[in-house]
């Protein structure tokens, strides 16, 4: 086969996704690896831990990185679940980011209570802690479904931080109109509160943390997240040279952005 045709054939096969199994890797973005099933969840299903972890990674890399003085921490769902389920959360302090010197902590809250299933559960909400103000804001798109779960995490965080905090369950949080968009609401709220509130206000000034009056187009948010993933996959795909494709390098791995 002529070299040009071989390159074209290999590139075509590499870019196809219809042959991937549901649990096969689709995109590797820094510390998060998305599967084909994760991509399907973004379109119309329940948003899972991996989807939320990817979104946090993306916000860190594309938004927080532009603000070098920022001290905002986006805790991954697995970390939040570990805090919630550990009877002695202080033991986790060495494995966590420096929470005590942060300005705000974003924590996706899941209603799973099983220690042996760290990625289970059926509902997401968001807890945002203002460390300096010593207050935790809870955003639940199906209020008050996750209020107890958020209060448990709030209680455990107090032990890690070493002081008490107020807990504010924000009843004016936008509500979902179906049973599967809770994770989409969490991703939207994280971006809105981070990009349009915290990162545009000087650290010493007061920030309005209410989402009252806001309305989420969940379908549009899903499309935005899916489009970002596809764009990143194409960008990573382009980083491989034609000869790397022919040799099969990367064949067993997804398109990657970030260091190995």
Average pLDDT, the chain: 89
- Give CA–CA dist 27/184, Å, rounded: 20
Q: What is the pLDDT of residues 148-193, one digit of tens each?
A: 999 999 999 999 999 999 999 999 999 999 999 999 999 999 999 9
- Maximum CA extent, the chain: 70
Active-site option among 38, 104, 123, 229? 123
* Beta carbons of 131 and 104 less than 8 angstroms apart: yes
* Beta carbons of 27 and 235 less than 8 angstroms apart: no
Which pTM does this prediction carry? Answer: 0.88
Give the percent of the chain with pLDDT over 90: 76
Confidence tier at 95 by pLDDT (50, 70, 90): very high
Cis check: omega of the bond before 68, within 30 degrees of 0 = no
- Give CA–CA dist 211/192, Å, rounded: 9
250: pLDDT strictly greater than 50:
no
Confidence tier at 248 by pLDDT (50, 70, 90): very low
Residue 30 falls in the annotated catalytic set:
no
Nearby residues of 200 by Cβ (< 8 Å), 6 or more positions away: none
85: pLDDT strictly greater than 60:
yes
Confidence tier at 251 by pLDDT (50, 70, 90): very low
Confidence tier at 3 by pLDDT (50, 70, 90): low
Residue 252 falls in the annotated catalytic set:
no
- Give CA–CA dist 56/40, Å, rounded: 19
- Give CA–CA dist 124/255, Å, rounded: 29
Active-site option among 38, 49, 140, 181? 140
pLDDT at 242: 62
Active-site option among 182, 185, 187, 229? 182
| Interstrand relation of 72-74 and 166-169 (parallel, antiparallel or unpaired) | unpaired
| Interstrand relation of 166-169 and 135-139 (parallel, antiparallel or unpaired) | parallel
Of 12-21, 136-145, 193-202, 204-213, give the lowest mean pLDDT range.
Answer: 12-21
5: pLDDT strictly greater than 80:
no
- Give CA–CA dist 23/37, Å, rounded: 6
Residue 104 falls in the annotated catalytic set:
no
Q: What is the pLDDT of residues 99-145, one digit of tens each?
A: 999 999 999 999 998 877 757 799 999 999 999 999 999 999 999 99
pLDDT at 37: 96
* Beta carbons of 56 and 34 less than 8 angstroms apart: no
Rounded mean pLDDT, 76-103: 96
The single residue listed with the structure tokens 């997240």 is: 225
């Amino acid at each position: 086969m002529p070299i040009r045709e071989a390159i074209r054939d290999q590139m075509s096969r590499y870019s196809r996704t219809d042959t991937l199994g549901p649990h096969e890797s689709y995109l590797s973005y820094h510390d998060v690896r998305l599967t084909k099933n994760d991509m399907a969840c973004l379109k119309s299903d329940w948003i899972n831990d991996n989807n939320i972890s990817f979104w946090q990674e993306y916000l860190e890399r594309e938004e927080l990185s532009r603000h070098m003085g920022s001290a905002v921490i986006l805790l991954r769902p697995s970390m939040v679940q570990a805090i919630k389920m550990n009877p002695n959360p202080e033991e986790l302090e060495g494995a966590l980011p420096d929470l005590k010197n942060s300005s705000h902590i974003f924590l996706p809250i899941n209603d799973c209570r099983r220690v042996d299933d760290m990625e289970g559960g059926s509902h997401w909400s968001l807890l945002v802690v203002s460390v300096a103000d010593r207050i935790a804001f809870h955003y639940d798109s199906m209020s008050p479904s996750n209020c107890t779960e958020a209060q448990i995490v709030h209680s455990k965080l107090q032990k890690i931080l070493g002081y008490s905090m107020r807990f504010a369950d924000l009843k004016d949080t936008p509500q979902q109109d179906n049973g599967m968009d809770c994770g989409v609401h969490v991703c939207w709220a994280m971006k809105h509160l981070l990009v349009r509130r915290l990162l545009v206000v000087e650290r010493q000034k007061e920030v309005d943390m209410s989402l009252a009056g806001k309305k989420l187009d969940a379908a549009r948010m899903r499309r935005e997240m899916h489009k970002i993933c596809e764009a990143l996959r194409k960008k990573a795909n382009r980083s491989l040279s034609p000869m790397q494709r022919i040799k099969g390098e990367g064949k067993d791995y997804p398109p990657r952005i970030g260091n190995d």
